[in-house]
Amino acid sequence: MKLTDTHCHLDFDKFDTNRDAALARAWAAGLTRILIPGITLDSSRAAVKLAESHHGLFAAVGVHPNDVGTLQVDTFARLRELAKSQKVVAIGEIGLDYYWNSAPHAYQQKVLQEQLALAAELRWPVILHCREKGDAPHGACAEDLIEILEEWGNRLRVEKNPLVERPGVFHSFSGSRETAQRAIRLGFYLGVTGPVTFQKAVERQELVAALPLERLLIETDAPYLTPYSHRGRRNEPAFVVEIADKIAKLHTLSLEEVAAITSANAARLFSWGERD
């Protein structure tokens, strides 16, 4: 069985004391690839360094909407340089966040559009963050994000950019079924994280059960969003097995089938083939 964790903040200091042990547990659990997204320039630099030093690790570079205040004049130029690494496969974690309101919405949108332009230039898919005010299932954040992505997708088509066939993933998707359908129509994948395993997450489970498995990716978002059976502990890549098992039950498939399909989805999106 081969599993993939397509979103794990393995560079965060919560892993500093036992990062190698966490990786050993991940490989023992059947993981073959782990993607580490950046959230600032420094985090992106750390993600790339970590990916370059370990087999099976890959990185994304970008600035999170809650960290746009860290932007400097040369940030995007430096991200472009980092993206030259053979271990970089995406631009992210980027997007919009109307929950914390760490920056004005208009500025978040501007920074997102600049990073989408960088993704188009480099032909790397994007890892998208979208969080509504009050954690609502739908609202202005999703509407603004979809509108921006529709305009971006139209430009990709006009420019005949191959990225239009694999534009990216909505990380830790918790939105409405309508937003999911719109995202899928635009070619995006949807990331499924630990909350799908929660006993009271009935609506989320019903949504995941209704979505096409060929459009799902499995993510831990470690060290956050720990699956139900490990609640109270720091999340880590090995726990991706519990998420895959829950998806398997929701789709009436075996764990092995879900592992194979979602790993193939990740390989298609991130084009990492046989690279290590």
Question: Using one digit for the tens of pLDDT, what is the confidence trace for 87-102?
Answer: 999 999 999 999 999 9
For residue 99, which of 63, 65, 143, 147 has the smallest C-alpha distance? 65
Q: Taking residues 98-120, report their average pLDDT.
A: 97
- The H or E element spanning position 210 is helix 202-210
**Cα–Cα distance between 87 and 276 in angstroms, integer?**
8
Task: Say if strands 88-97 and 57-61 run parallel, antiparallel, or are unpaired.
Answer: parallel
**Cα–Cα distance between 72 and 35 in angstroms, integer?**
25
pLDDT band at 209 (very low <50, low <70, confident <90, very high): very high
pLDDT band at 276 (very low <50, low <70, confident <90, very high): low
**Cα–Cα distance between 228 and 172 in angstroms, integer?**
16
Percentage of the chain exceeding pLDDT 90? 98
Q: Tell me the domains of the chain and their CATH numbers.
A: 3-270 (3.20.20.140)
Compare 132 and 275 and report the one with higher pLDDT.
132
**Would you say how long the chain is, in residues?**
276
pTM of the model: 0.97
pLDDT at residue 6 in the model: 98
For residue 64, which of 10, 2, 126 has the smallest C-alpha distance? 126
**Cα–Cα distance between 41 and 248 in angstroms, integer?**
37
pLDDT at residue 163 in the model: 97
Q: Taking residues 37-55, report their average pLDDT.
A: 97
pLDDT at residue 274 is higher than 80: no
**Cα–Cα distance between 152 and 67 in angstroms, integer?**
22
pLDDT at residue 275 is higher than 70: no
**Cα–Cα distance between 95 and 53 in angstroms, integer?**
28
Percentage of the chain exceeding pLDDT 70? 99
pLDDT at residue 273 is higher than 90: no
DSSP one-letter string for 21-51: HHHHHHHHTTEEEEEEE-SSHHHHHHHHHHH
CA dihedral 85, 91, 92, 97 (to 10 degrees): 160
Residue 19: CB atoms within 10 A of its CB come to: 17
